[in-house]
Structure 1
């Protein structure tokens, strides 16, 4: 079994076990009744909506490439982003997708630095939008729970998320001070981790230093040379997340439930924040349990298992299938993925 097959199997097993655990704890007579009344056309529509998100994502990549003076066709841009969903689905925090997209853009005769600017620019736009929406989402969810204890918790969470957003923007614009903070934290941790970790800590420092520089350079390039393309990139980012978040709402409608769309969207924003934690490949397990907690705000317990399975079928299994097909049959980037996972 090669590396790719191994990581796909691990990701699938973790996700399947987690999904079955959720189903086992939520299955009852109402669950069976809901399954018999499910609307297949809504489930098909949800799959189409997720497929549409690939197209919007490709449009964003093309816009940012054009902003830097490089013309990538819509077809090629969509191939690149869908291909990267395989690597993203089998690496923690979906970090494997970025190197692959940089590699594929570089193969389109885009200089490595500019390809990096496009891909990291997308990551920054996603991060800023999700972090900006997080306090609003927490406020919406707090209104549903109506619990004084949760009120206090959510207020602190909001302040914390706003603080993280400010730090992120500051780190992008001023990488020097950000590096100093990281170096300080690493040096403080070193005595607790022992001398044997010195080499590992040094690698972390070098990696953070490199990533902060890339972030800064990427923003500088896009702001100075491609402001119009960046504006389209921002628009496409908003549309992308709106489309992808709409998928869960359509799934729930297919189960004859009619929750408040704002609650559905807000809960997904919170889940996306949690999925940034690099715990498991493709966030397997983390996504299922985080989704169970967040979606319980608007879905009856008897339907939670069904919704989680359907949601992950599109956001995870579909990504592996489509990404694998494009990677191995169209783009043929299997060797790069294998080398990346070594």
Structure 2
């Protein structure tokens, strides 16, 4: 695992928040320019139903509580509740300021190392989290497509034909499935075989410059696999259930939010939930930090059929609840965490 501290510390930098903020403001400005009526729709905020709006806030809090519970369970209570909160906030911040296609795996391992988790364990916990998250998409995406059919894909204005968006979805889904298969194989089936493949590939002339890194990464995988061996069934049940919970809560938040603006029946609620899974898989290959700009654009395409002229204002509230808080919390918690873990021996 490439744990270049200088590169990671560049990511864990509060100045990073300006790039996604400017990208988000850019796409909002473009939407204003394309449709000036979007500005008038902002007045519709006062008509939102308070009950579902408040519920959406509590659902996102429940999701974050689920993340904190999962990381503490993953580490077998080696992290206190307070340190688990720090880890999740910084992990979410790192994800918010890095492209979705890149992810924050190395940063997450670095954070756990600074929280006095050994390298083998930190690698195991982060890789297992990534595998479980991706497995959620692999399992649930076909199920929601069976329920909704391919008409869940909108006709996107920037893509000439509908099948192009479907192709983008399947490319992203295939990459997720491949990632999940390779690292599940490496962690649970043949960690030594995985290391052997890495060394074999990097013995070829074009890849020799990465041989040392491949050797170290292979050792990290071996250590991670050893750390996960022999865990009781209760351990796996808790982290699997918490994974399903946190992702379901993430999506149900938008269901609540849409319900605060328009009336939707149960069938539409299910389609909204399904649309989010499809949209999220597409956004996973976004090149922008935290899918800024990409998220706002696809939200309009996927949910305009339910929200109509309320789509724009709902998308802003959605991002204000699900994305920007982690930029703000990261900017607040990061300096304190750096002081604790780099400049003094804190027991907090």
Smaller-chain TM-score bracket? 0.7 to 0.9
Which runs of structure 2 are paired with 1:1-342 in the superposition (5 Å)?
A: 4-25=13-34, 28=37, 31=41, 34-66=44-76, 71-93=78-100, 95=102, 97-142=104-149, 144=151, 161=173, 165=177, 168-173=180-185, 176=193, 202-203=209-210, 214=220, 218=224, 221-258=227-264, 260-300=268-308, 302-329=309-336, 332=339
Q: Could you tell me whether the CA contact under 8 Å between 2:109 and 2:123 is conserved in 1?
A: yes
1:275 Cα deviation from its structure 2 partner: 2.4
Q: Could you tell me whether the CA contact under 8 Å between 1:91 and 1:280 is conserved in 2?
A: yes
Query: Can you list the C-alpha shifts for 1:190-225, whole angstroms capped at 9, x where unaligned?
Result: 9xxxxxxx68x955x876786677567545532433
Total equivalences in the alignment: 319
Q: Which runs of 5+ in 1 are unaligned?
A: 191-197, 337-342
Query: Can you list the C-alpha shifts for 1:142-175, whole angstroms capped at 9, x where unaligned?
Result: 365599x969985996698468526632453156
Q: 1:179 to 1:286 in 2, by over 3 A?
A: farther
CA–CA distance in 1 between the matches of 2:340 and 2:53?
31
Which is further off, 171-180 or 120-129?
A: 171-180
Q: 1:261 to 1:123 in 2, by over 3 A?
A: same
Q: Could you tell me whether the CA contact under 8 Å between 1:59 and 1:78 is conserved in 2?
A: no
Q: Secondary structure at the match of 2:252?
A: helix
CA–CA distance in 2 between the matches of 1:40 and 1:285?
28
Q: Could you tell me whether the CA contact under 8 Å between 2:257 and 2:318 is conserved in 1?
A: yes
1:252 Cα deviation from its structure 2 partner: 0.7
Structure with higher RCO (Cα < 8 A, 6+ apart): 1
CA–CA distance in 1 between the matches of 2:337 and 2:194?
44
Q: Which runs of 5+ in 2 are unaligned?
A: 1-8, 155-160, 344-348
Q: 1:123 to 1:140 in 2, by over 3 A?
A: same
CA–CA distance in 2 between the matches of 1:209 and 1:140?
45
CA–CA distance in 1 between the matches of 2:270 and 2:200?
41
Query: Can you list the C-alpha shifts for 1:261-312, whole angstroms capped at 9, x where unaligned?
Result: 2112111112221222150122211222222222234332x12211211111
Q: Secondary structure at the match of 1:224?
A: coil
Q: 1:107 to 1:36 in 2, by over 3 A?
A: closer
Q: 1:89 to 1:218 in 2, by over 3 A?
A: same
1:7 Cα deviation from its structure 2 partner: 2.3
Q: Secondary structure at the match of 1:291?
A: helix
C-alpha root-mean-square deviation of aligned residues, in Å? 4.0
CA–CA distance in 1 between the matches of 2:200 and 2:303?
39
Q: Could you tell me whether the CA contact under 8 Å between 1:88 and 1:282 is conserved in 2?
A: yes
CA–CA distance in 1 between the matches of 2:120 and 2:42?
54
Q: Could you tell me whether the CA contact under 8 Å between 1:87 and 1:97 is conserved in 2?
A: yes
Which is further off, 213-222 or 119-128?
A: 213-222
1:52 Cα deviation from its structure 2 partner: 2.2
